[in-house]
Amino acid sequence: MTLPSNVGTRNSYSLALLRIGVGILFLIFGQYKIFGTAFTLHGGFQFWINKFLDGGAYPFMVPVLRGFVLPHATIIAFLVAYGELAIGLALVLGILVRPASFCGLLLMLTMLFSSDYPGAGAPFWQYFGASLSHSVFALCFAAFLVGRAGSVLSLAALRKNRTSVSGD
């Protein structure tokens, strides 16, 4: 027989490990964009937006990508790069996990609708298959929002433990 607290503890650690893993991936995504200039200053972001427009944006996103994103591409590229780095740092360190997860979920939904459109005539299941690179991350961020992903293996938990020990 397993005690509920043990299950809760295991779930908290599992969610924390997933949080840290996703955070490391976002640190990788952000750091190469920030420390290299190809994405932000030399057309990398614009390349991807044009690729999305040519072969995979949902129809309602096309005017947004053409009319807003491309004209402001450099600023948005920096927002994406630093946003990914900030999301990664927050998740790895376990600070501001819910706000970072909300931003990550918004980013993944934006990416999903900007790039994963299989076409109007595609069978329903292909929409999910085409979206795996973004929908899986979106589900992780949703889990971090709903759960207590920062309750263990985090700076917040470490600070809470130090406060409770020093208060005794």
How is 132-162 classified by DSSP, letter by letter?
A: HHHHHHHHHHHHHHHTTTTSSSSHHHHHHHH
Question: Among the listed ranges 36-40, 54-58, 92-96, which one has the minimum average pLDDT value?
Answer: 54-58
Q: Is the pLDDT of residue 2 over 70?
A: no
Report CA-CA distances (Å) from 141 to 4, 36, 146. 25, 26, 9
Q: Residue 56: pLDDT band by 50, 70, 90 thresholds?
A: confident
CA–CA separation, 145 vs 5, rounded Å? 21
Q: Is 167 exposed, middle or buried (0-12, 13-18, 19+ CB in 10 A)?
A: exposed
Using CA atoms, how far apart are residues 22 and 108, in angstroms rounded to an integer?
A: 13
**Contact predicate 95/72, CB 8 Å:** no
Of residues 78, 82, 96, the one with CA closest to residue 19:
96
- Which amino acid would we find at residue 16? A
pLDDT per position as a tens digit, 13-35: 999 999 999 999 999 999 999 99
- From residue 101, give the alpha-carbon distance in Å to each of 57, 104, 152: 24, 5, 16
**118 has a pLDDT exceeding 50:** yes
| AA letter at 30 | G
